[in-house]
Structure 1
Amino acid sequence: MSIPTVPVDGVPDPLPQGVIVLDVREDIEWVHGHIDGAVHIPLSQLTSRTGDLPEGQLLVVCKIGGRSAQATMYLTAQGFQAVNLDGGMLDWASAGRPMVSETGQPPLVV
């Protein structure tokens, strides 16, 4: 099965209306830096929390793209419109895309 994937330079900036970012990283990664407005559901909780996902096109992210690829494969099998961000938050940050932090410090990818 092929996993729908897009590189960061294939993602419009700003994100189009109706695109929801789903961040599947762990809590400690999330607090240090994430995409503003993203929905946070760690990969380990995804199967029990799909009801928490808003309707729309999902851009699924993690640190480098591995966990988000797993999540994208699962979500597409469940009928969701989901695309994996190749390179994850590392590529997002390297491209200078906006991020926010919950720590009071400048956002970073950990």
Structure 2
Amino acid sequence: MPQELPPGKVLLDVREADEWAAGHAPGALHIPMSELAGRLEELPGDGELYVVCRAGSRSARVTQYLNANGWDATNVDGGMLVWASAGRPLVGEIDGAEPEVV
């Protein structure tokens, strides 16, 4: 995973709403894994998707599904845990709370 996403690349976060609210990558697209099948129209039709969850297992399943259905998806190995530990930026949705990966 590059430090910065190149132009045309989308980071798709498939964690649940509470995980997203606690801390996520700036500019990421949030579609929980449980809602993905009903929200495919929100995904860009072209360009590469990087798929992320907390540690990499949910995103691996989503990556397989997307690649089988015509998208160009790459799993972010290690997920948001590796993202945060590498010092990449995090933003949160909880007022007054420091962004974190939960």
Deviates more, 1:24-33 or 1:44-53: 44-53
Superposed, 1:13-32 pairs within 5 Å as 13-32=3-22
Structure 1 partner of 2:36:
46
Q: Deviations over 1:85-108 (max 9, x none)?
A: 010000100101111000132210
TM-score, length-scaled by structure 1:
0.88
Report what 2:58 is aligned to: 67
Equivalent in 82, 94, 101 of residue 91 of structure 1: 82
Q: Percent identity?
A: 56
Query: How many angstroms apart in 1 are the aligned matches of 2:93 and 2:87?
Result: 19
Aligned partner of 1:108 in structure 2 is 100
Long gaps (5+) in structure 1: 1-10
**Residues paired across the two proteins, number:** 100
- Which amino acid letter does the alignment assign opposite residue 64 of structure 1? A
What's the Cα RMSD here? 0.8
